[in-house]
Chain A
Amino acid sequence: MHIPDGYLATPVWATLDVAAAPAVGYLARRAQKGLEQSSVPLLGVMGAFVFAAQMINFPVAAGTSSHLVGAALLAYALGPAAAGVVLTAILAVQALVFQDGGILALGANVINMAIAGMLAGYLPYWLLGAGRWRRQAIFLGGFLSLLTSGVLAMGELILSGVPMPGVVIRFSLGVFLVSAVLEGAITLAIMQALTAIHPELLRQPQSDGRRALGWIGVGAIILAVAGVAMASAYPDGIERLADATGIASHATTLLRTPLADYQLGTLGSAWLRKAGAGLAGISLIYGALLVGGKWLARKRGA
């Protein structure tokens, strides 16, 4: 799931790099503030642990096996900010030293795995990790983190115009689902072992008054993942909807003018327009969320 360089369209990787840089900066500041001074070796060694953990195979079925990915586990053990920093460091080392994942695509990989995947894994634990549903929450976290990363990566590839016929998309979604169930089960097995031998190493989740917000988050993640999956598996439906509401025509006229002389050569126009329309959609949603969030914050402050 590490996207190499050369797959994403320029608007896609550039946007995600620009989005990832301040997010990582924020996570680093928060992690530094939230942990004691000894945190640098701890975070580094935990990153090395996730690397090494991939050597231990978990037997699955009929001789096949799977291994830990670790975003959710790190979030449970270190808290979300520190987990984001560790995962970003892992992705950077993988891209630089092991040529696993691209440099320009690093922003995309960081957003898919270290930020979105990690948060999707942390939310269920934050909500339910302390109570009766702890085991289910741990499983659900591992499941959601892997599924979110996978679906995001696939969405970015489709947005970049990498050809993906419906069969391939449905097959990949099936693979994501199976690996997500396995990640949930592996995360749960490790967490149970840790609870038995060293319970003090795990941070107990403290979900105080903001549970409602957390539930909205879980709902949003499930809706978004299902939505992206649906949209990529059945693009025709979305297109028809867009045509019917007239969004598509507006979006393309809006986008075609500034990008007009950019449509070069054989690979150009079609996919670039698609990517542009997708980006316009994303920025619209982002803007709406920003305005909504500001409004909520003001209402709370008042």
Chain B
Amino acid sequence: MNTVADARLRRAGSLEKNPRLCQWLRLERDGTVSVFSGKVEIGQGILTALAQIAADELGVALERIRMVAADTSLSPNEGVTSGSLSIQDSGSALRRACAHARALLLERAAERLGVPVSGLRVKDGTVRAGGRSTSYWECADKALFDRDVEEHASLSRLPGEQRVVGTSSPRRDLPDKIAGRPRFIQDMVLPRVLHGRVVRPPHGFAGLDSLDDAKARSIPGVVAIVRDGGFLGVLAEREDAAIAAQLALRDAASWKESAPLPRDIYGWLKANAIDHRVISEKVDGEARSREARTLAASYSKPYISHASIGPSCALAQFEGDKLTVWSHSQGIFNLRRDLSLALDMPEEAVVVRHVEGAGCYGHNGADDVALDATLLARAAGSRPVRVQWMRDDEFGWAPCGPAMALELRASLDPSGNIVAWQHDLWSNGHSSRPGRSDQPALLASWYLARPYQRPSAINMPLPAGAADRNAIPLYDFPNQRVVNHYVREMPVRTSALRSLGAYANVFAIESFMNELAQAAGADPIAFRLRHLSDPRAQAVLEAVARRANWNGWTPREGRGCGIGFAKYKNLGAYCAVVAEVEVGHEVRVHRLNLAVDVGLVINPDGVRNQIEGGAIQSISWTLKEQVKLGERGIASLGWEDYPILKFSEVPSVEIELLDRPDLPSVGAGEAAQGPTAAAIANAVENALGVRVRDLPLTPDRIIAAIERE
């Protein structure tokens, strides 16, 4: 499948940086195939989908594929598992690697069997011609894959070969997870392990003033109190003793006071932007001259926590001057780099091995806790150290998804078409992941006696973007200006949260599209369709309208129905959502209908699971979630202060996958968040006649909006 997108690249996906065939797969003596990917399982099912791709391209049964957990000493460096890119990056590379491997194996088999390749039949790695047969495993030798992947290797199939791509193969990791067998990094046991905990300041970026550690030292089982500048931790034989010592140290430490936080974060963001980048500009004077009416509106989105159910965890062990770290990081190579920076060790002396963790939804504490474990392991000789963050460590110290302020303005012509559009957004950067600065991006490194400087969060460039992800509307507007106002100073540490800026940008754009449709007296879906020329965009809108019986919707007291749409990053999946809500003393979402186009579907059930999960998480963000800020730091440190959607609040979710077998596969994990938020806000407006432009849509916000009207 050669596509325009593929042809633009010199090498498909991650082959660009990892061109050797032996980097991707190895035939094992036991009749299996080890497949190496630098992408990691974070609950999204990627290892299952990649195994399906490998099985198909090699022509072997899925059961023969062994996905090797990412490891800096074994795996191709595929950067970070983020941005819904794993199918594109790793999937496309693996597909070509496996196709090339198969071509080489078939050549060998043809030689052995004395027939041309065209005369071979292959089933599950066994190659037959006439009455004779051989197998991939007999044909492979060590040197066979020691070459660059040739991308022109045929991807065509031999007759009779079955495909697993396109089928809902069950997740390979779920049997362990559902049986309760040890599988997560939190479950990992190493001989002679010590348990560690770290004591953070009460808030902000304060340094350690004084410490009386006598009480902590007296706790039975405590092995060491470790202090390096403002980094303070404890090692104990038992986990419960480490936790007790952590609490004792918290009481016994006094910290310098950190700077107060701004009270009005949105006003502060607008006042503190240092870079004002016009990211899209279109000018059409003739269209501008038809302006009949101009509307403007401001929107906002608070800091949001990743709020993983499983707090971050890591293990670390020194053996001489070699360090091994076990981590659920999304980017093990980048973590290795920042660990080596923070510890002033050569990168070659550090190995980072991926072990699955709880869902992370972006850059949470996974990388930070790896440095915590490493710093404590330095005090543990050759014993391994396990550190798991407590709930308040995770809420208080993992990076948050940034707060954003947005202002939109648009003009309609006399016939109700948009002739001019302006979108301004103010935000911190959306990534402070490791591996992207000359300073380590790891929390503890900024507190050491010789501290590193905390790097500011940055934005990745367009077209994918970060704060400005999805800020450029997919609609066709003759005049258009989109400005990304970047704020470098970070009152709260921010980094990547699932969908980055797309959540707020799509919420604002799609809310505003409804406000404009209303002003134009148009149906919101019809209004969108007449501003869209992309047929795939039109198709998801039309499909969701059919599915939700949009035209048959009858308004009832307190009930509303709303639409939201986006093409993720303007590069990825198309997703349209219709939400039905009921508004009493709070908003309840009753039903979501979604129509989604991700190109060729590798695993339909996997895509549905990701889309539904993304949509439900977005309902939670949209109705409930905001990080509470105290005078000097994050004040929401437990679930009581940071409620998320509960089982009884989750609506029915129905998903239609549009079949696009001839189009490239794109990721599904971040497509639904923005459209779902907008669909809910538009449904609330439909129910109440009141527009709420500030997230989350809590009862307070709704009452405030009613009072404003």
Partners in one complex: no
